Structure 1
Amino acid sequence: MIKYESIAKDIQEKIEQGIYKPNDQLPFEAEMCETYGVSRITVKKAMDLLVMRGMVIKRRGSGTFVKNITLPANDEYSFSTSNQFSGFFHTEGHKDVRSEIKEFQIINPPEIVAQRLKITEEDFVYYIERIRYSEGVPNVVEYTYMPIDVIPGIKKDILEKSIYEYISEGLGLKIKSAHRTVRATLPTVQEEEYLEIEHCFPILEVEQVAFLDDGRIFEYSKSRHRGDKLELKTVSVQ
């Protein structure tokens, strides 16, 4: 890893851990140069990278500050940069959250799934189909594929809670990033029953390929959300 990328990674981790809080001012360039033993140019590149990622903002004449991207609390299920890898179980906070497992098996992946996971059709994956509830209301139907050699040991009791918590705490793996495509669509007849919605009630589909910090793909999934239960918020940076 290039030095400025390593510095940006260290600062980003401190932001994510709450060491640097929203609106906090980061140390000045001279202090960072001394801390990391690098030149001002290297520190500037690290800061520019964090600006590009939407983590910090530079204020002319004042310095560099942690960007406040905290989203207002509401009753919607939201994606944000701070909670996107916590999973549904934790993003719903104190609410009554539960999962209903509709299907759980080990299979050979269909061709399109194998392509997304960068594996062969002869490999084995978990196929997981779950309905996620919040306060007794079905919010989303999840269709998830995970390679068993990357994420071993998944059992039913894990599926009833948080798979992401198992990955990070149970297996000690670090979830790094996810590529998502969001599209509006209509539910299948089965999904109308699962989500307790009327015919032609709109839903949002989130298609995702997720990566560990070592570059391995650990998940390909499609989440089909009730249109009144998903609010997608993003941060754009210029």
Structure 2
Amino acid sequence: MNNYSTKTIPRATAKRLPLYLRNLTILHSKGIVRIKSKEFSKITQVPPATIRRDFSYLGELGRSGYGYEVGFLIKVFSELLDSYEENRIAIVGFGNLGKALANNNFRRNQNLTIDCVFDTDPAIVGQTVGGFYVYSMADFEKVVREKNIKTAISTVPSEYAQEAIDIVVHSGITAILNFAPDRVEVPDSVSMRYIDLTTELLTLLFFDRNYKKPSLVATS
């Protein structure tokens, strides 16, 4: 259990914490022991003032003119995000996207593990695909309770998403990442995040067109 209260952290700040932790971990792996907010801003693309404000919600994490100790920040954010604890994850929908997520298996964070995958396609249910045994959605509740899984990733298309999410919620899972952009109904006790790949791509292209930094490549 960490010693930091999440009640005083704004939601916008909370969304940036995993980004900070990921980049701090990369810096640590490169032997960087200290960094200033201006330098960290260039890496995270978050304004220095926002970084300092986000960090201030967690207390005195650095010193003016000195910066922040990378190792200490990793410890703080890891405790806050409970990333020291193993988080076992179920994937619902084992099509192309589900396979890609399972094969990646969060290599940079050994505490995030794809533990089981589910589908309704009779062609793959009961088979081992890409190193994963594919369970039937009919067995979802039984399997995730046996494995004590509290997190699920759904790659089910929008037209079937509500039915799939209902099964996930009924099993007792309280954290769901949904790749279907259309909203679904879940109880207040369930934390749901949506990832719309089309929206993300359009946002990327917009920033590329309008906020692109000058090229560093010399031209003749």
Structure ranking higher in strand proportion: 1
Tell me if both proteins adopt one fold, taking TM over 0.5 as the criterion.
Answer: no
With normalisation by structure 1, the TM-score equals: 0.29
